[in-house]
Amino acid sequence: MGELREECGIVAVYHLPNRPASPLCPTQGPGEITRLIPRMLLDVQNRGQLSAGASSYNPDRKQPLTTYKESGSVAEAFHQSHKDQFVKIMDSLVGCAGIGQVRYSTVGQEDVSYAHPFERPHIKMNKWFTFCFNAQLANYEALKQGLIERDANSCFSRDSDSEIFMHYLCAAIKDNERDLLKVCQKMAAPLDGAYTLAYLNALGEMFVCRDPHGIKPLCYAFDGSLFAAASESCALFNLGFDNDQIKDLPPGHCAIVTREGGLEIKEFATSPRTAHCFFEWIYFANAASNIDGKSVYLARKRLGEELAKLEDVPLDADTIVVPVPDTSRAAADGMAYALHVPCLEGLMRNRYSGRTFIEGGESRIRRAKTKYTPLPQVLEGKRVLLVEDSIVRSTTMRVLIDRIYRVGRAKEIHVRVACPPVVAPCFYGIDMSTYSELFATKFYLKHYGVDGVRSSDQLASKWILTPEIEKEMAKDIGCDSLRFLPTRATCKAIGLPSMSLCQACVNHEYPTEWGCRLSESARQRFVETLNAQK
């Protein structure tokens, strides 16, 4: 499972016939509704920059479904800087319904065949479909092995969740033909993990669905004849939908759209408990979005206010708060306002360098070195409260601290992290799958020893952050002091109870059966590695 790490964004749009015309439809007409997809994908671009693509449905076309996808950002994939090419691509995608995706994955990074959507042609219209998703299945290996054991003819050409969804969608469609609710139910029954999915077939039937725990975000909106869905609410807001029109799709529910113009929100799986990924509010989501009724921006602002309550360094005329752009800016503003200290842009980010957290291997190190430019005019001689949203591997933070001291000539650097220490792998879509790669792990081991890693339950109860551990972490990365937010403070800032959130990466409490299993396997491998190093 160490190879399957994804964080993507999906969109869907449909002009429903036999409905009052929506003022939000393009001026070209309802059959041009798919021209909205690139602009929607730009609003979820923060969720992936490796590829982008779209599928469209047009009943007047010889082939009712067509798919276009390419490597790169949305602008690169759709050739938006080349008008003629862009127009040609969009003309080929003209239709009354469409789905799209931006992708990040460490699997097949340069291989466009891994890009979404995935189209599955068939001689029967109801079995010809295309789909895209934001997902990571915790039981991927077990599902794959089960399919192979049940049918030796099962084919897997890629090492990704995509073919698992393909197999289960095909089986569900074969058994249920035209009932999309039953298709969702059958497809989802064996799945364990996090997913949102958009599906469109050659009959013009669409559904979008969200996993029973609601780990990944998905929202939808409806206005007259226009239905739209997206991983980020800002993608719908920027289409022109009012905030009160934008709804979060409940966990375990699907929105089904038919060619005749029907729209239904149906439950396809019972939700045992909600477990919204708290890292969405901390880092991944667009700050302009709302997730499950909670503003991402305001949550980040409150994270900074919680940090301010813990501050104990001397505050004087030489003290400044500096955010690590861009996701920590709201937290830095909130902290600075509460402390009555100026918040200044001491670091300028190269906006074309991408996001180092969702990059792998050496590219993360190289990009961290060129990602930020310290401003000595702001930093020189200052006591800097450097606010970061999270520290996972510490790659970026080490580079920043070194450059702020050497280039910025700061007097002191006190790192403040608007998140608890990341101490456990994620098996639901965040790029951290082993204990050994996590910055905080070695410090807990030093204090609690290998014996404190006997079980995942012990990890959750015994790995307690102390001032002494924070002091050692600060020394290791080269700053004057380091402080993390406690878990209870993040829940308070987000505005949801702990039991409504998945915080497994900071408390070892996985919301699904296979998440717990993979955690135990990762722990055992980690202990074996530690023992071998003795």
pLDDT digits (tens, 9 = 90+) for 242-258: 999 999 999 999 999 98
Q: Is the pLDDT of residue 365 over 80?
A: no
Q: Is the pLDDT of residue 156 over 90?
A: no
How much is the pLDDT for 455?
56
How much is the pLDDT for 10?
97
Q: Which two tokens stand for residue 115?
A: 């890009």
How much is the pLDDT for 459?
58
Quickly state the pLDDT bin for 454 (edges 50, 70, 90).
low
Of the listed ranges 35-44, 79-88, 105-114, 412-421, the least confidently predicted one is 105-114
pLDDT: which is higher, 108 or 210: 210
The CA distance from 61 to 459, in Å, is 58
How much is the pLDDT for 450?
63
Q: Which two tokens stand for residue 284?
A: 């991944």
Q: Does domain 9-272 have CATH number 3.40.109.10?
A: no
pLDDT tens, residue by residue, 11-63: 999 998 877 777 777 655 667 899 999 999 999 999 988 899 999 999 999 99
How much is the pLDDT for 114?
83
The CA distance from 186 to 126, in Å, is 16
How much is the pLDDT for 526?
85
How much is the pLDDT for 414?
98
Contacts of 522 (CB under 8 A, 6+ apart): 425, 433, 434, 435
Q: Which residues of 430-448 are buried (b: 16+ CB within 10 A; e: fewer)?
A: bbbbebeebbbbebbbeeb
Quickly state the pLDDT bin for 301 (edges 50, 70, 90).
very high
pLDDT tens, residue by residue, 98-119: 999 999 865 545 678 788 999 9
Determine phi and psi for 532, rounding to 5 degrees. Answer: -70, -25
Percent of the chain with pLDDT over 70: 90
Q: Among positive and negative, which fits the CA dihedral 139, 41, 116, 263?
A: positive
Residue intervals in the chain for CATH 3.40.50.2020: 292-533
What is the average pLDDT across 264-290? 95
Percent of the chain with pLDDT over 90: 68
Where is 269: in which H helix or E strand? none
Quickly state the pLDDT bin for 358 (edges 50, 70, 90).
very low
Name 193's bridge partners: 137
pTM recorded for the entire structure? 0.91
pLDDT averaged over the chain? 89
The CA distance from 228 to 220, in Å, is 6
CATH architecture of 292-533: 3-Layer(aba) Sandwich (3.40)
How much is the pLDDT for 413?
98
How much is the pLDDT for 437?
86
Q: Is the pLDDT of residue 191 over 90?
A: yes
What is the average pLDDT across 417-425? 93
The CA distance from 163 to 111, in Å, is 15
What is the average pLDDT across 440-452? 79
Q: Which two tokens stand for residue 105?
A: 């994955």
How much is the pLDDT for 378?
97
Residue intervals in the chain for CATH 3.60.20.10: 9-272
The CA distance from 188 to 197, in Å, is 11
Confirm if 471 and 481 have CB atoms less than 8 A apart: yes
pLDDT tens, residue by residue, 499-527: 999 999 999 899 999 999 998 888 888 88
Strand pairing class (319-323; 383-388): parallel
How much is the pLDDT for 366?
64
Residue carrying the six token digits 């993608």: 235
DSSP collapsed to 3 states, 383-451: EEEEEECCCCCCHHHHHHHHHHHHCCCCCEEEEEECCCCCCCCCCCCCCCCCCCCCCCHHHHHHHHCHH
Quickly state the pLDDT bin for 281 (edges 50, 70, 90).
very high
Q: Which two tokens stand for residue 49?
A: 């920059």
pLDDT tens, residue by residue, 395-410: 889 999 999 999 999 9
